[in-house]
Structure 1
Amino acid sequence: MNILITGATGFLGTNLVQRLVNENHHVYLLVRNKQKLEGVYNQIPHHRHDQINVVEGDLLDEGLGISPDTAIQLKGKIDAVYHTAAYLSFDESERDLVFNINLKGTERVLEVAKQLQVKRFIHVSTAYTLGESTEGHEKLHSIDNEFVNAYEESKCHAEHLVMSYKDDLDVIIVRPAIIIGDSSTGEADTTFGLYGILRTVQLLKKRAERKQDKQSYRLLIERDTVSNLVPVNFVIDILALSLTSGEPGTIYHATNPNPPTNGEIFKAIKHGIGFHQVEIVSYEDEHLITEEEKKLNQPLEVFKQYLNRSITFDRTNTKKLLSEVNQEDLNMDEQVLLRIIQGFMKS
């Protein structure tokens, strides 16, 4: 197929391009800066580079900034669109920009898809469009919910917008949870979620080695809460299946059926990084931590709502999709977690 992709230079997008090209598809990558494509090309065998086509444009521009000549060339030629581009910021001061990119930008991509006579539109959202609820269903969540941040809210609005185009396009929404590295190699190119914790523990290790002390450091994380970590290759599996076997008008949760507890994650972190002078304590005991420890916890504050709330995700549609093609579901054990952490240490 000929497939247009937004967000191709991101962590998820780069992995998606690699999969699609290896499956003999031709990809058209919407990019604002061609120099950012170097990382994409580096992941693709040289003999497949001719399957990559660059489309200069910008999510913030009307018509995505695609030139009229290019639009004419692409009309009727693109079989599917993967819209993976998004602005991931929890900073409330950036609310307008977040909505402009994640909602208005999505509208621009949808309109271009219509104009190019694209058949299938696969929208990458997030499993956290459910607001402050603890149960996520594979259906649209209310835009009137209380949201943790503007990012979640903008993605929820964007989902409603995408579904409103279902009479014009075969729309599918894929909702990944917290994306981590490849389950086989541990490789990752992201600084979000788990990697914020890994960086914090790594810095504590260096600090302890420098000071040559045996002090134990406490981080505020609920031990028994589960964190829905999902390897990037599993998310790519769901995205690839959505192209060939996905049901139009359907939402798929690319989530972990058996997510680890924070206690299990932290056990793997201490083992993988080789640093045991750190422990996690409940927010109930926040009054016990020192001023020094409070400063150490500040980088984790942005992830507080994700590290300390167990969410159950319905996966009926996802399980059906996997079973139809006889593909195994995600099984992320302790060894996978260790590979992810070792992949972080190598990078």
Structure 2
Amino acid sequence: MNIFITGATGFLGTNLVQRLVNEGHNVYLLVRNKRKLEGVYNQVPNTQHDQINVVEGDLLDQGLGISPDTTKQLQGKIDAVYHTAAYLSFDESERDLVFDINLKGTERVLEVAKQLQVKKFIHVSTAYTLGESTEGYEKLHSTDNDFVNAYEESKCHAEHLVMSYEDDLDVIIVRPAIIIGDSATGEADTTFGLYGILRTVQLLKKRAERKENDQVYRLLIERDTVSNLVPVNFIIDVLALSLTAGEASTIYHATNPNPPTNGQIFKAIKDGLDFHQVEIVSYEDERLLTEEEKKLNQPLEVFKQYLNRSITFNRDNTKKLLNETNQEDLNMDEQVLLRIVQGFIKS
């Protein structure tokens, strides 16, 4: 197929391009800066570079900033669109930019897809469009919910927008949870989510080595809360299956059926980094922290709503998709967690 992709230079997008090219598809990548394509080309053998086509443009521009000549050339030629581009920021001061990229940008991509006479539109959202609820279903969530941040809110509005185009396009929404590295290699090109915690513990290890003492540092993370970590390769599996076997007007949760507890995750972190002078304590014990520990916990504050809340995600649509295509579901054990930590160390 000929497949148009936004966000191809991101962590998820790069892995998606690699999979699609390996499966023999031709990809058309919307890029603002060609220099960012180096990482994409590095993931694809030289013999397959001719399957990669560059479309210069920008999500912030009308018509995605694609030239009229290019639009004419692509009209009727593109079989499917993967819209993976998004602006991931929890900074409330960037609310307008978050909505412009995640909502208005999605509208611009949808309009271009219609103009190009595309049949299938696969939108990559987030499993956290459910607001402050603790149960997520494979259906649209209310835009009137209380949201943790503008990012979640913008993605929820974008989902409703995508579904409003179901008479013009075969729309599919895939909702990943917290994306981590490849389950087989541990490799990851991201600094968000779990990797913020890993960086914090790594810095604590360096601090302890400088001080040459046995001080134990405390981090505010709920031990028994589960964190829905999902290896990037499983998310790519769901995205690839959505292209060939996904049902129109359907939402798929690319989530972990058996997510690890923070206690299990932290054991892997301490073992993988070979640093045991750190422990996690409940937010109820925040008052016991020293001033030094309070400062060390500040970078984790942005993740408080995620580290302190277990969420159950319904996966009926996803399980049906996997069963119908004879694909195995995600099974992430302690060895995979350790591999992810080791992949962080290597990078």
The normalised TM-score by structure 2 is: 1.00
Tell me how far apart the structure 2 counterparts of residues 268 and 244 of structure 1 sit (CA, whole Å): 36
Displacement after TM superposition at 1:305 (Å) = 0.6
Displacement after TM superposition at 1:80 (Å) = 0.2
Tell me how far apart the structure 1 counterparts of residues 305 and 32 of structure 2 sit (CA, whole Å): 33
Spell out, residue by residue over 1:158-197, the C-alpha distance to the aligned partner (whole angstroms, 9 max, x if none): 0000000000000000000000000000000000100000
Residue equivalent to 1:275: 275
Residue equivalent to 1:287: 287
Q: Partner letter of residue 115 of structure 2?
A: Q
The residue correspondences of 1:102-141 to structure 2 (distance < 5 A) are: 102-141=102-141
The residue correspondences of 1:134-149 to structure 2 (distance < 5 A) are: 134-149=134-149
Spell out, residue by residue over 1:284-331, the C-alpha distance to the aligned partner (whole angstroms, 9 max, x if none): 000000000000000000111111100000000000000001111000
Displacement after TM superposition at 1:263 (Å) = 0.3
Question: Taking every aligned residue pair, what percent have the same amino acid on both sides?
Answer: 88
Residue equivalent to 1:187: 187
Please give the secondary structure, in 1, of the residue aligned with 2:86: coil
Spell out, residue by residue over 1:104-154, the C-alpha distance to the aligned partner (whole angstroms, 9 max, x if none): 000000000000000000000000000000000000000000000000000
Structure 1: which 5+ residue stretches go unaligned?
none
Displacement after TM superposition at 1:339 (Å) = 0.4
Tell me how far apart the structure 1 counterparts of residues 306 and 287 of structure 2 sit (CA, whole Å): 21
The residue correspondences of 1:243-258 to structure 2 (distance < 5 A) are: 243-258=243-258
Tell me how far apart the structure 1 counterparts of residues 213 and 67 of structure 2 sit (CA, whole Å): 61
**What is the number of residues matched between the two proteins?**
347
Please give the secondary structure, in 2, of the residue aligned with 1:174: strand
The residue correspondences of 1:36-115 to structure 2 (distance < 5 A) are: 36-115=36-115
Spell out, residue by residue over 1:261-289, the C-alpha distance to the aligned partner (whole angstroms, 9 max, x if none): 00000011000000000000000000000
Q: Partner letter of residue 284 of structure 1?
A: E
Displacement after TM superposition at 1:42 (Å) = 0.5
2:319 corresponds to 1:322: no
Displacement after TM superposition at 1:46 (Å) = 0.3
Tell me how far apart the structure 1 counterparts of residues 62 and 228 of structure 2 sit (CA, whole Å): 36
Tell me how far apart the structure 2 counterparts of residues 308 and 182 of structure 1 sit (CA, whole Å): 25
Tell me how far apart the structure 2 counterparts of residues 100 and 157 of structure 1 sit (CA, whole Å): 12
The residue correspondences of 1:162-177 to structure 2 (distance < 5 A) are: 162-177=162-177
Tell me how far apart the structure 1 counterparts of residues 52 and 130 of structure 2 sit (CA, whole Å): 36
Spell out, residue by residue over 1:210-264, the C-alpha distance to the aligned partner (whole angstroms, 9 max, x if none): 1101100000000000000000000000000000000000000000000000000
Over the residues paired in the alignment, what is the CA RMSD in angstroms? Answer: 0.3
Tell me how far apart the structure 2 counterparts of residues 306 and 154 of structure 1 sit (CA, whole Å): 18
Tell me how far apart the structure 2 counterparts of residues 308 and 256 of structure 1 sit (CA, whole Å): 17
Residue equivalent to 2:152: 152
Q: Partner letter of residue 301 of structure 1?
A: E
Displacement after TM superposition at 1:157 (Å) = 0.1
Tell me how far apart the structure 2 counterparts of residues 226 and 301 of structure 1 sit (CA, whole Å): 17
Tell me how far apart the structure 1 counterparts of residues 76 and 205 of structure 2 sit (CA, whole Å): 56
Q: Partner letter of residue 310 of structure 1?
A: S
Tell me how far apart the structure 2 counterparts of residues 219 and 228 of structure 1 sit (CA, whole Å): 19
Tell me how far apart the structure 1 counterparts of residues 192 and 256 of structure 2 sit (CA, whole Å): 17
Structure 2: which 5+ residue stretches go unaligned?
none
Tell me how far apart the structure 2 counterparts of residues 127 and 45 of structure 1 sit (CA, whole Å): 33
Please give the secondary structure, in 1, of the residue aligned with 2:184: coil
Tell me how far apart the structure 1 counterparts of residues 48 and 179 of structure 2 sit (CA, whole Å): 27
Please give the secondary structure, in 2, of the residue aligned with 1:44: coil
Tell me how far apart the structure 2 counterparts of residues 341 and 308 of structure 1 sit (CA, whole Å): 21
Tell me how far apart the structure 2 counterparts of residues 266 and 341 of structure 1 sit (CA, whole Å): 10
Q: Partner letter of residue 203 of structure 1?
A: L
Please give the secondary structure, in 1, of the residue aligned with 2:300: helix
Spell out, residue by residue over 1:69-103, the C-alpha distance to the aligned partner (whole angstroms, 9 max, x if none): 00000000000000000000000000000000000
Consecutive aligned runs of 4 or more in structure 1 exceeding 6 Å deviation = none
Please give the secondary structure, in 2, of the residue aligned with 1:144: coil
Tell me how far apart the structure 2 counterparts of residues 132 and 299 of structure 1 sit (CA, whole Å): 21
Residue equivalent to 1:223: 223
The normalised TM-score by structure 1 is: 1.00
Tell me how far apart the structure 1 counterparts of residues 35 and 345 of structure 2 sit (CA, whole Å): 27
